[in-house]
């Protein structure tokens, strides 16, 4: 019986995280690849020239930052996925909880100065960055549980606006509108001692032979946390709690009749999702290094929703794919734009192919503009925004299951290949 992927003989197997050996091996290899990324850089091991083979560009500082951001957004989206994808509660308020987590981290983690700061070590501020938003989520949830459907969406929208107002005015915590504050460096300390045990943002040698850039260390830290958060989310999903959430999502009244305490589970869903959002918000702020109150706005909420929808609501691997898509796409478009620009400058083939939609000077009309401010047409940043908006629409219209749905279809096709059924 062993080794047959689709044959399930007991409940435990049906609920397993990784359902087949192939899946386990693939996931393991993928994780191995992710762990090794910072080591692709020259001189990562034992100094000097040695490096393990792999895409060098991924180990560049900017890509490592981008990949860390991917992990952070994935954490935030995992939280929203539990609330919206599993429990069916629509929330536009995710940005508020992310901001709350960020400022909790800033107050607890930064040293005392002109702005409030307590200067506690990371093992205090990082969990608190999740717990405080979770507590606030519980406090707010009675309102949210009372209203349903689209009304809930608008209530949570109000939360974002009220949150922005609060952040702007608590200037002793947030640094005030348009000026912001710096965030604690990612350093591991036992307590408030001078010398950090582990500095995750400074380049240097680890364990005597691993020569990692600061970005590389930060990336590994985020990767570890993301894996942890994925495992927790997966376990929530396949446990009693997760099933209760899904029952509420599918029909709340029916769930209640079956004995699911609607109020309790909705509150729990809010708390869990706010915990995820808070931790992600704190890490995002630490990664950027400085944030202003205006950063925690509706667009951030929309971005997280887009991740969940593009990935496929309710699916964890979907959320991961969605984050990769939403976070990496702007960079890819940007790089492609640069390529076009170089090509246009040297009269290359690419520019000739794309000439009809390209605008290179004031007299040249085109949809895409390579010299911003001078020629008509969309700049690269605008093009990114436009693609992003269109993708949200396109996925909802053509593939409501998101990237996860696309993946399942591709997988099923190859499973039966060359037979259609």
Partner 1 sequence: MLVDWLSLGSIYALLAVGFVIIFKSTQVLNFAHGALAALGAFLVASMATILQIPGRWMGSAPVWLKWTSSALVALAAAALIGLILERLFIRPMLGEGLFSVAIVTLGLDIVIRTVSNDFMGTNPRPLGFPGGTASLDLGWVVIPWNVVVSVIVTLVAVVLIATFFLSRTGVAMRATAFDQEAARAQGINVGRIFSLAWAIGSVMAAVAGIFLSVFPRRSTGVDTATAFLAFAAFPAIILGGLDSIVGAVVGGYAIGLAQAAVTEFLSNNPSFAFLGSGFGGVVPYVLMLLVLLIKPYGLFGTEEIRRV
Partner 2 sequence: MRTILKLVTLVTVLAMVLAACGGGDDGPDDTTAETTAETTAETTAETTAETTAETTAETMADTTVAGGEAPSGDIATDVGVDLEAGTITIGMLSDLTGPFGPLVTAIVAGAEAYWADVNANGGINGLTVNLEVRDTAYDIPTHVQFYEELRTQVAAFGHSTGSPHTVAINPQLQEDGILAIPLTWYSGWTDPAINANLMHHGVPYCIESMNLIEYVVNERGGTTIAIASLPGDYGLDSAAGAVIAAEELGLEVVYDGTGQLNPTDESTFTSVSNGIAESGAEIVFVTATPSVFASVYGQALQGGFEATWTGAGPSWNVAFVAPDSAIRDAIARDFVGNAYTDVWDGASQGAQEATALMGDAEPTDNYNEGIVESTILHQALLRAYENGDMTQQGILDAAKSLEAVSFNGLAPDESYTGDANAQLQRTGNIFVPNLDAVTGTEVVAANYVSDLAENYDFTEACYTLE
What is the pattern of x (binds partner 2, CB under 8 A) and - over residues 87-126? --------------------------xxx-----------
Considering only 61, 227, 298, 339, the residue that binds partner 1 (CB under 8 A) is 298
Residues 125-144 that bind partner 1 (CB under 8 A): 143
Taking CB within 5 to 8 Å according to partner kind, which of partner 1, partner 2, none is near residue 23?
none
Alpha-helical regions (H) of 201-315:
214-237, 240-250, 252-257, 262-288, 298-311
Q: Does 175 bind partner 2 (CB under 8 A)?
A: yes
Tokens for 226?
């993301």
Q: Does 367 bind partner 2 (CB under 8 A)?
A: no
Separation between Cα atoms, residue 348 and residue 206, nearest integer Å: 45
Q: Does 154 bind partner 1 (CB under 8 A)?
A: yes
Separation between Cα atoms, residue 204 and residue 185, nearest integer Å: 15
Name the phi and psi angles at 3, rounded to 5.
90, 0
User: Residue 132 or residue 380: which is nearer to partner 2 going by CB?
Assistant: 380
**Nearest distance from residue 234's CB to partner 1, in Å?**
24
Whether 271 contacts 137, CB under 8 Å = yes
Considering only 1, 6, 150, 190, the residue that binds partner 1 (CB under 8 A) is 150
Whether 230 contacts 316, CB under 8 Å = yes
Whether 306 contacts 325, CB under 8 Å = no
Separation between Cα atoms, residue 314 and residue 203, nearest integer Å: 38
Angle at which helices 94-109 and 150-169 pack, to 10 degrees?
30
Separation between Cα atoms, residue 22 and residue 381, nearest integer Å: 40
Q: Does 158 bind partner 2 (CB under 8 A)?
A: no
User: Residue 121 or residue 318: which is nearer to partner 1 going by CB?
Assistant: 318
User: Residue 5 or residue 389: which is nearer to partner 1 going by CB?
Assistant: 389
Candidates 21-29, 249-257, 268-276, 352-360 — which segment interacts with partner 1 by CB under 8 A? Answer: 249-257
Tokens for 255?
């769930």
Considering only 24, 396, 412, 415, the residue that binds partner 1 (CB under 8 A) is 396
Q: Does 377 bind partner 1 (CB under 8 A)?
A: yes
Residues 33-62 that bind partner 1 (CB under 8 A): none
Separation between Cα atoms, residue 260 and residue 162, nearest integer Å: 32
Q: Does 311 bind partner 1 (CB under 8 A)?
A: no
Q: Parallel, antiparallel, or unpaired for β 181-182 and 290-291?
A: antiparallel
Candidates 90-98, 254-262, 317-325, 378-386 — which segment interacts with partner 2 by CB under 8 A? Answer: 378-386
Taking CB within 5 to 8 Å according to partner kind, which of partner 2, partner 1, none is near residue 377?
partner 1
Taking CB within 5 to 8 Å according to partner kind, which of partner 1, partner 2, none is near residue 180?
partner 2
DSSP 345-372: HHT-HHHHHHGGGEE-STT---SEESST
- For residue 150, the Cα-to-chain-centroid distance in whole angstroms is 25
**Residue 369, SS3?**
strand
User: Residue 19 or residue 243: which is nearer to partner 1 going by CB?
Assistant: 243
**Nearest distance from residue 183's CB to partner 1, in Å?**
23
Whether 87 contacts 249, CB under 8 Å = yes
* Residue ranges in contact with partner 2 by CB under 8 A: 28, 32, 35-36, 39, 41-43, 45-46, 49-53, 56-57, 59-62, 65-66, 69, 113-115, 165, 168, 171, 175-182, 203, 209-210, 213, 284, 288-292, 294-295, 331, 334, 338, 371-374, 379-382
């Amino acid at each position: 019986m062993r080794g047959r992927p689709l044959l399930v003989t007991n409940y435990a197997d049906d609920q397993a995280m990784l359902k087949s050996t192939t899946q386990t091996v693939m996931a393991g290899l993928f994780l191995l690849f992710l762990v090794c990324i910072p080591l692709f850089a020259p001189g990562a091991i034992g100094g000097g020239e040695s490096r393990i083979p792999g895409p060098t560009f991924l180990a560049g500082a900017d890509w490592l930052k981008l990949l860390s951001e991917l992990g952070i957004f994935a954490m935030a989206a995992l939280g929203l996925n539990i609330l919206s994808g599993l429990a069916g509660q629509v929330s536009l308020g995710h940005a508020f909880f992310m901001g709350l987590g960020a400022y909790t981290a800033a107050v607890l983690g930064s040293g005392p100065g002109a702005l409030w700061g307590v200067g506690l070590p990371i093992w205090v501020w990082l969990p608190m960055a999740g717990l405080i938003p979770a507590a606030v989520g519980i406090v707010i949830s009675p309102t949210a549980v009372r209203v349903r459907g689209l009304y809930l969406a608008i209530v949570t929208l109000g939360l974002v606006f009220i949150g922005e107002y609060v952040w702007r005015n608590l200037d002793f915590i947030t640094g005030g509108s348009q000026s912001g504050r710096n965030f604690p460096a990612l350093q591991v300390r036992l307590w408030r001692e001078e010398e950090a045990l582990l500095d995750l943002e400074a380049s240097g040698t680890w364990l005597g032979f691993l020569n990692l850039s600061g970005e590389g260390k930060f990336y590994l830290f985020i990767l570890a946390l993301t894996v942890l958060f994925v495992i927790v989310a997966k376990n929530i999903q396949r446990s009693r709690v997760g099933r209760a959430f899904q029952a509420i999502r599918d029909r709340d009244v029916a769930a209640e009749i079956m004995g699911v305490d609607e109020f309790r589970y909705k509150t729990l869903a809010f708390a869990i999702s706010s915990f995820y959002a808070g931790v992600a918000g704190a890490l995002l702020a630490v990664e950027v290094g400085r944030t202003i109150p205006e950063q925690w706005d509706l667009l951030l909420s929309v971005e997280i929703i887009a991740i969940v929808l593009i990935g496929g609501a309710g699916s964890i691997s979907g959320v991961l794919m969605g984050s990769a898509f939403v976070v990496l796409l702007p960079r890819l478009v940007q790089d492609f734009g640069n390529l076009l620009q170089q090509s246009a400058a040297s009269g290359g083939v690419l520019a000739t192919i794309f000439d009809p939609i390209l605008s290179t000077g004031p007299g040249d009309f085109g949809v895409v503009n390579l010299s911003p401010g001078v020629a008509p047409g969309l700049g690269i940043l605008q093009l990114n925004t436009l693609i992003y908006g269109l993708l949200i629409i396109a996925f909802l219209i053509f593939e409501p299951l998101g990237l996860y749905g696309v993946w399942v279809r591709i997988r099923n096709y190859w499973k039966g290949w060359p037979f259609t059924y």
